[in-house]
Amino acid sequence: MSELVSLTIDGREIQAVEGTSILRAALANDIYIPHLCDHEDLTSVGICRVCLVEIEGRRPTVSCMTPVEEGMVVHTSSEELDQVRKVNMELLVLHHDYDCQNCAKNSKCQLQELTRYVGIDEDRINAMRQPELDIPLDDSNVYYLRDLNKCVLCGICVRTCEEIQGDECIDFTFRGIETRIGVLGDKPIAESTCVTCGECVTRCPVGALVPRHAIEPTYEIDTICPFCGCGCGVSVGARGGKVVSSIAVPDSPASGGSLCVKGRFGLGFVSSPDRLTTPLIRKDGELVEASWEEAISLIAEKFGQYKDGQFATIASAKCTVEDNYAIQKFTRAVMGTNNIDHCARL
């Protein structure tokens, strides 16, 4: 079992597991240290330099990269520290498009939270802006948008793609003030090896990566993804009787907080206008609406006309396990055939 160490942060004595960073130890004890590039699912890299703290006997230190030590005394704010942090924040927003009212991440943007806490001088930022922001919007992906004018180069998307998805399709490209997140050959994201899992989208702290047609749900319900047999946990958001969002359940035992492209972006079929709401029967070469009684009677009549081996079943991933078991049992025991398939493909 890992040992606990005692330290003091802003006059409060706390305990943390040995090896824990100062930042995560503080956050676990409801002590706020501003940060941007750190994420609990990823390794710490110390890119943004906003989480600086003062440790007695040392120079200002990046808290996300510094492990706790026994007897350590930490200060999260001082006149010198606040000034350094403010300059670092100015460098982060210097080339950031902060048209917040028209951003899908408005009110949920971590950069907004930091600027409120740290404070920046807008006139000073505007005087330093050079060159103008003019990176074209990448709308090549059918499920999400990439606006690099809003990117703060925190690297969370890069580490997510490498550490969680294992795809490594994006990385830091170019140099100096031209540095940006890109794919091989600086092509649109749709022309890369991206599998559209959306893991980077859900972790992006700003509006650089957002789902298309993002709509804030009225309420959310935790359930199970209907697409395959993995049983991934999803939190489905609804508004006006329609599914508008789908995010991973963090502590799901089946998926561990991850989703594939179907689970994250494919639940729109629930509210699709093309979805059938009544049985259809072919009459005179055309499909016409029918009652359930009429449809079931026709099915029973047709089933009786087939002999062994002339019948096949395609089951559905959107049914329950019990329903699919009944379907395959009916196919084998009643219809006398093993011709059964399933639409789920991992």
pLDDT (tens digit, 9 = 90+) per residue, 150-187?
999 999 999 999 999 999 999 999 998 889 999 999 99
Can you give the CATH number for the domain in which 61 is found?
3.10.20.740
250 and 287 share one domain: no
DSSP 33-72: ---SS--TTS-----S--SEEEETTS--EEGGG-B--TT-
How high is the pLDDT of residue 305? 83
The 8-class DSSP code of residue 193 comes to S
Query: What is the number of structural domains in the chain?
Result: 3
Whether residue 23 sits in one domain with residue 63? yes
Do residue 71 and residue 9 come from a single domain? yes
Full residue range of the structural domain in which residue 270 is found: 215-275
Are 34 and 61 in the same domain?
A: yes
Q: Which of 76-85, 108-117, 317-326 has the lowest mean pLDDT?
A: 317-326
Q: Do 33 and 62 reside in the same domain of the chain?
A: yes
What is the spatial distance between Cα 222 and Cα 146, in angstroms, rounded to a whole number? 28
Task: Tell me whether residue 209 is in a domain.
Answer: no
| Cβ-contact 251, 257 below 8 angstroms | yes
Write down the pTM of the prediction.
Answer: 0.84
CA angle (188 as vertex; 96, 169 as ends), nearest 5: 90
Same domain assignment for residues 296 and 257: no
**Is the pLDDT confidence value at 311 over 90?**
no
pLDDT at 67 over 90: yes
Lowest mean per-residue pLDDT among 65-74, 97-106, 137-146: 97-106
**Angle of helix 79-93 versus helix 110-118 axis, rounded to 10:** 140
Asked if 308 contacts 337 with a C-beta cutoff of 8 angstroms, the reply is yes
pLDDT band at 92 (very low <50, low <70, confident <90, very high): confident
What's the pLDDT score for residue 211? Answer: 94
> How many Å apart are CA 160 and CA 170, to the nearest integer?
10
